[in-house]
Structure formats: C-alpha cells, structure tokens
A and B are shown apart, each in its own frame.
Chain A
Amino acid sequence: MAVLQTPERERTARGLTEPAGGPARRKTPYRWSALGFISPGVLLVAVLLYLPLLWTTFLSFTEYNGLGDPDWVGFDNYGDMFDDPAFLGSLGNTLLWVVGTLLIPVGIGLGIALLTWNLAGGVWLRLPFLIPYALSGIGVGLIWSFILSSNGALDQALAAFGITDTPRWLVDAPLNTVVMIVAAAWQGVGVNALLFTIGLQSIPKEPLEAARVDGARGFRLFGSILWPMLRPLTAVVVGLSIVASLKTFDIVQGMTKGGPGRASETLALTMYKETFVNSDYGLGSAIAVFLTIVTLLAAILYLREQLSKKHEL
C-alpha cells in the first residue's frame, strides 16, 4: 500500500541516495504515525462491527435471557430453530420476498428505465418514482397500513364503486406478504429505475447505432444488445435487491408486526421477536447468525458468478 511505503524505498525508486543512518532514524516514527492515523478507524470497525458479530455468534451457542450470565448449550438453538414451524414459515416468507422484489421493483424499474431513457424530459417522468425512496421503511409501512387495513382507505375507495367483497389484505396469508412486497416495490422501484438508466446511459453509442443500422428494434435490440451490456449493472441491482429482501424488517413491522399470529413474519422479524419480545437472546442470535451466513453467501456467490464473466463486462 502506498501509505505504508517507506521513505527509503521512495528515494531508491527515484534514484536518490540517503545519508548513512538517516532512513533508520525515520523508519519507526513513520510507521507509528501511520498506525496512529488508521487506528481510530480500525478501532471503530472492531468495536462496532467485529466484536458484536463475535458476541452474537457466542450468544447463539448459549441460553440467555438478557440477565446474569449466558449458559453454554452448544448447537441446541440451531436445532430448536429448524424444529420451529414459525421459523420455517418465516423462512418461506423471506424467500417469497426475495422472489417478489426481483420480479416487481427490479422488473418495473428496468421497464421504467427503458421507456424513459431516450425520451426528452425522461428525468421528470422518473422523478415521481424516486420520491418514496426518501421515506423510511417504517413510514412506508404506516402509510400502506392505513391504505390496506380492513375498512381502510382502499376498501372505502372500492366501496364507493360498489365493490364491498374485498380480500382482507393484511390478514389473509400469503396475501399479506404479497401486498407488503407491492408496498416495498412502491418505495424501491424509483431507485432501480435510476440505476438502470445510469447503466443504459453508459452503453457506448457505436454498437447501438450499428444494431439499429442492422434493423434491430424493440425486443430484438433489448435482447441482443441492451440486456447483455447491462449485465454488470443488473448484477449489482439484483445483488442489492436480494440482500435487501433477505433482511426485510421495517415495512413488515410497520404493517402487520408479522401477524396475524406469525403468518407474515420474515427472518429478520423472527430474530427481533425471539430476542427482544421473548428475551431468548440465544435463539435470536442463532437466527441472526443464520441470516448473516445466508445473506453473505447469496451476495458473494451471486456477485462472483455474475461479475466474473469478463467477456461481458
């Protein structure tokens, strides 16, 4: 690393000579000052990220109610976790979130980017989709809860048109998870459209013009030219979407609190409930470790697979 390069190396590289004994005197102070600069950052990362991670991993092998000392129980929490129907239900809901957020916000975001990309004033068409992104997830949850709750805004609007036999949007499973994915899409579609637009704008003009000269239009142009050239960006957008959906929490907490019963819980919500509602810190930590491993594996495997295709980068 450049910052750790010693002065004598720099001088040698430049063909300069050193007076005898000079470099030896400066070597140690330089290294210590470098350590001085990086140590606050290292300390922050260690204290705020790595130590909590290690502590959580340790807790996942214990039985602990937040008071006194944790009792070591080995892999019991992991066994309990997979024996619990609520955990398996929440795993299923989380997978539904992964699939749903890939289909809806990523898909619609790509569509909006393609439709507005070459349009004069396209930025003004994309702008309204971006505004919800400024809201917090819990805020989006509260707004959509108001709209979708029984006899809420949507039901009342439909009743004005004589439609009274409406589904119970937030009560019936898995409908409640599906409508929450729609609510999340409302928030996330704009940023996906923006990212895809940036990707489209970065495509060189020559191959596009060549394809158009050859008569490629519409789906043909998209399938043969745009989609392959968007691959690096699609990989990032999809990767981010997978990670975000695996840790879905705030919007579900804001809309259904995982209910009724535990019908719409996601893994992140189950982790929260076990830890802070049931005071079962061991089981909550085991779920946290499981979620971390799944998220990291999904992100690393997917991005490595997608971004390693050099010929398409």
Chain B
Amino acid sequence: MRSPRKTGGAVIALAAASMLLAACSAGGGGGGGDGATTGTLDFYTDKAAWEPDFDELNETSEADVDITLNTTGYSDANQYDAFIKQSFRTQKSPGLFTWHTGSSLTELVDEGLIAETTDIWSKAIDEGWATEDLRETYTVDGKQYCVPMNIAYWVMYYNKNIFAEQGIAVPTTWEELDAAATTLKSAGITPYYQTSTLFTFQWFQQLVAGTDPDLYNALATGEAKFTDPEVVDIMNVWLEEQEAGWFSDAGSTVDPAVGLKQGDYAMINFGSFFNGSLDGAGMVSGEDYGMFVIPAVNPDLEQTPVAVESGPLCVAESSKQRDLGLAYSAWWMSADAQTAWNAARGDVAFNPKAEVADPMLAELGTTVADGQHLLFTRFFEAFPTPIVTVAIEQFGAFNANPSDPVPFLETIQAEADKYWADQE
C-alpha cells in the first residue's frame, strides 16, 4: 500500500508539473485583441536609449488617436529577443514591439505570431506615405506584417574640420575616396573607423554591393558563395586597405562618436541614426560633421548602391492589445505622426510627406530618392541570421588581425552551406 508520505510527495510534484505546463502552454494560439482601440498601449523595444523620444511622442498620439505608449526599453538586444520569443508562449504577448526585418521577421510570420498589416500598408501607399520598395521589405508570402519604425541609410560620416584642414573635398568617386584616405594617412590621420564587435560588416557590404550589386544579392540568397573568386578579390581590396593602415585599431573601446570628434579617425561608415550619437558627443550637424553617400567601387555601375535598413514595429497576433497595437500602427504611418517622430528623434523619414527637422538628413533623403541611387538591404537584414552571426564574428576577427581572407570566408561559407542545406 502506498504510504501517505509518498502520496503527498506525488501530489506536490504533480501540482508543480501542472503549474509549469499550464504556464508553458498558456496563450499559445488563437487571435487576441479585446477590441479596444484607445487607451494605454504596452510597448517593448530594444532601443532603450530612445525611450524619451517615444515618450515625447505621446502628446501627439493622445491628441490624434487617444493612445499613450507605456514604453519598456531593453538595452541588451539578445536578452530582448529572447524575452519577446518567450512572451509568445504566455498570455502577455506584447501589443506593440520592435523587431527586425529579413529572416527574423519571416520566422515569426511562419509561426503565425504576428498580426497582418496589409490594410494599413494599402492605405499608406494610397496616401503616398510609404514607397513600394519599403513595402516589399515588410512582405512575406504576399502579405504585409508590421510597420516601419524607422529607416536609415548607411553612409559615410566625416569630421569637417579634418577635411578642411587637409583640403579634402567630399569624394564623389571611389578614386577620390581612395585619394582622400591616402592624403589623410600621409598626414598621420587614420582615415576610417572600425571595430571587432557587432558593427563589423559594413565595409564588406559596401565593397561587395559597390562592386557588383547582383553578387551581393546572390550571396544573400545562397546562389553565390563567400569563397567565390570575386568575393576573395573584394576581400583582398579590403586587406590592402588594412595593410595601408587606413583603419583604426579594432581593439579600441573609445565611443565611435567621441573618436570622430577628437580626430582618432576622419570617417565612419554608419547608419543615418548616428546623428543622435554625434549630437550627444557635442558635435553640430553640418558644422562639425557631415555625411556623404559612399561612391560605388565600380565606376561602371549606373546607380550608386546605398545600404538601407528599416526596423519594424510589430503587433503580436495573440496579444490582448492586438487591436490597440494595430490602431497605433495605422496612425504611426501617417505624415503627422512621422513629422512628430522626426522632431523627437531626429532621423531620416520613411514617409516622404513628413517634415524632416535636420536639413542634412532631409537632403540625404532627397538625394537617395533621385533615381541615381540603388537602395539595397543592409547586410544584417539581407542575410539569414545564422550566417550574419558567423560573418560578424569573422569580419571582427579579420579587422583585429587582417590577413589572408580565405580562412575567414571559408568559415562563413561553412555556416552558409549548413543553413541553405537545412532550407532544402
């Protein structure tokens, strides 16, 4: 006969297991939304530093659509991603959250976790609030998901004082850019910033897309290999520049904005959101620093490729605040909302009808839309996440110890082979 002690233990264990299973399985499926389209919307983001900007926008959103954002900012992107993924297993999946485009977005859509925004996009296109190109970034299997939180073009920032002192004009061709780097180096100034962590991919994306945009797209879709001779040649161009001493020490932990200000290097290839960091470092837009579109490596290209990134605002399909999140998303696309956001954040606008506060950013927006430029998706979003992760590590290692690029490319290709084999 079973003893009371054993029975009691079994009851406790069973209760614990039931609680855990209940917690794990709760809210796993089914459409959410309690119908409310006004009120306070819980918003989660990995852009913790932007929290004051989102708060500043509340005044406008309350007046326009009676919605207030209650923002929770995470400063660790990995921790944030894990939190969002786990939240889909509970009944507290977020009404609004920031995410990533590319394979990360497709991953969530494939699991049916994201609310569709096709209607919102249709209206935005009809109103002239967004371009067809941008809509494509948010399209999975013919339907749209999420709305663009922001858009950024990856350009070259430069220290205007250094350029003026060295008599360097803004380069308009790759040759002129090389000449500027040579002049700077001979004057004892490091031309370019680089690092060995996270933002290690930009020079690769610039060199590949600037040489052959089709090759860049073929790499992103697995049709070309990182070990192909064309890619090795491009990497050798990078290696020559490294050996010429054109890049800063990858082991430095000096804030890149501070480094540009104090002249540790003259140029940084970064997204157009970098204005905020430079302003924070005490530099004045248009006076202390400027920006230019990086010329194509290949002068025969008809259009100059410019990397573009766009971060989405998404609504969880199973969230209790699904309808509220979608109402906010619809408002977010409007010219009024984007004008207010631009005033709060200071960024280029994805909505052509929004007013851009910073004249330099406004000019950049006009420049890339002039038909002479080819927008291509930033490396981070264009390539599948596992390949991006390995590539960022390998480019970081290459930046730290520039040498024969083939072993680095082979490591990236090994991960790419594994990834594409899994997709078959």
Check if B81 sits within 8 Å of A42, measured CB to CB: no
By a CB distance below 8 angstroms, the chain B residues around A263 are 397
Check if B4 sits within 8 Å of A259, measured CB to CB: no
A66-B85, A259-B397, A260-B396 known; A150 and B252 CB under 8 Å?
yes
Check if B385 sits within 8 Å of A259, measured CB to CB: no
Question: Which of the candidate stretches B107-115, B116-124, B143-151, B271-279 sits at the interface with the other chain?
Answer: B107-115
Which B359-401 residues have a C-beta within 8 angstroms of A?
385-386, 389, 393-394, 396-397, 399-401
9 contacts between A and B (CB under 8 A): A28-B4, A43-B15, A65-B107, A66-B82, A68-B111, A151-B254, A171-B251, A259-B397, A261-B196
By a CB distance below 8 angstroms, the chain B residues around A42 are 9, 12
Q: Please list the residues of chain A having a beta carbon within 8 angstroms of any beta carbon in chain B.
A: 28, 31-32, 35, 39, 42-43, 46-47, 51, 65-68, 145-146, 149-152, 168-172, 257, 259-263, 272-273, 275-280
Q: How far is the CA of A260 from the CA of B396 in the complex (A)?
A: 6
Smallest CB gap from A52: residue in B: B20
Smallest CB gap from B15: residue in A: A43
Most buried by B among A28, A31, A150, A261: A261
Q: How far is the CA of A68 from the CA of B86 in the complex (A)?
A: 10
> How far apart are A98's CB and chain B's nearest CB, in angstroms?
24
Name the prevailing secondary structure of the A interface residues.
Answer: loop
By a CB distance below 8 angstroms, the chain A residues around B88 are 67
A-B contact count (CB 8 A): 105
Check if A259 sits within 8 Å of B400, measured CB to CB: yes
Q: Please list the residues of chain B having a beta carbon within 8 angstroms of any beta carbon in chain A.
A: 4-5, 8-9, 12-13, 15-17, 19-20, 78-79, 81-82, 85-86, 88, 107-108, 111, 113, 196-197, 249-254, 385-386, 389, 393-394, 396-397, 399-401
Q: How far is the CA of A27 from the CA of B19 in the complex (A)?
A: 30
> How far apart are A144's CB and chain B's nearest CB, in angstroms?
11
Check if A260 sits within 8 Å of B401, measured CB to CB: yes
By a CB distance below 8 angstroms, the chain B residues around A272 are 78
A42-B12, A43-B12, A260-B196 known; A150 and B397 CB under 8 Å?
no
By a CB distance below 8 angstroms, the chain B residues around A273 are 389
> How far apart are B227's CB and chain A's nearest CB, in angstroms?
17
Check if B251 sits within 8 Å of A276, measured CB to CB: no
By a CB distance below 8 angstroms, the chain A residues around B8 are 31-32, 35, 39
Check if B16 sits within 8 Å of A149, measured CB to CB: no
Check if A276 sits within 8 Å of B78, measured CB to CB: yes
Choose from B79, B249, B253, B393 the contact partner of A276 (Cβ within 8 Å).
B79
